[in-house]
Structure 1
């Protein structure tokens, strides 16, 4: 027998919309991005070196994993800000629906508002690859999903930062125009 899905009261659903509106998603994205940038600025203080069975050495900065994970989650929250803005029903009935994945390429493809989606797909793919494996866990989901830790390339870091800036700017413009959510929710946010 399947699990029964809870039905929430209208007041609980309204409170959920308040907690899950696009402005809340961008606030979390901004906070995670800020922390990723802070850690990025501290790189060079420690390294991790892996020596494989053939003696080949691979070295990366000790902040690499944490920066990668924070950046991936920042991007995920930013994409979800756009998706909730575009499709308010994703947060109706007291549930987060259809956008519960961590797969950034899938989330990006769902949005029609993010700038340069197709051109920048490589960034979503790079962040997503680590997000479900080496950046979050010591292993993948199974023996076929073992991926080595990847170091940030300067091009990936610069493009990620450019995207976060552009997405924040666009979302701020959208939020300043206002947003209508489920249950008659209306919000308008301006940013200084």
Structure 2
């Protein structure tokens, strides 16, 4: 709620004017990633938003064998779009059944009881993040690609962890093995 964008957006009402810049910001595009086998979308809170469009893009499924969407929140009620993602986007006219089956949704809660509890880093360290995957039960910088979107501290912590694991940050002009949402990261 106190983020630089959400703190403003949460007060918008129907009919309020919204001004958009001419140039979009951000690096959460698959063009900034090298080819790979698994795509991990790691998000906290409202950071899930950009991934909702990516998981509906048939081209993403042509590029990766598995799409793993991770959404970490404080409370179960904060798991926005949980039913849609648990259904593997059932009824989505853009995706074929075989594509939808390759999407893995990992919701996790940090402050309440839930089937998956803990921060994303905990799920990485204890292996729970990889349990549903057919691939290695750890990150592999040769074949895994990661997108990060969420709080600034989450992005910075995970970017540092990925670099320690041999991942390289990508950009549109130099694709890498992970990308971060840069709109508000200093």
**TM-score when normalising by structure 1:** 0.27
**Which one scores higher on RCO, CA 8 angstroms, separation ≥ 6?**
2
**TM-score when normalising by structure 2:** 0.28
Q: Which is richer in strand?
A: 2
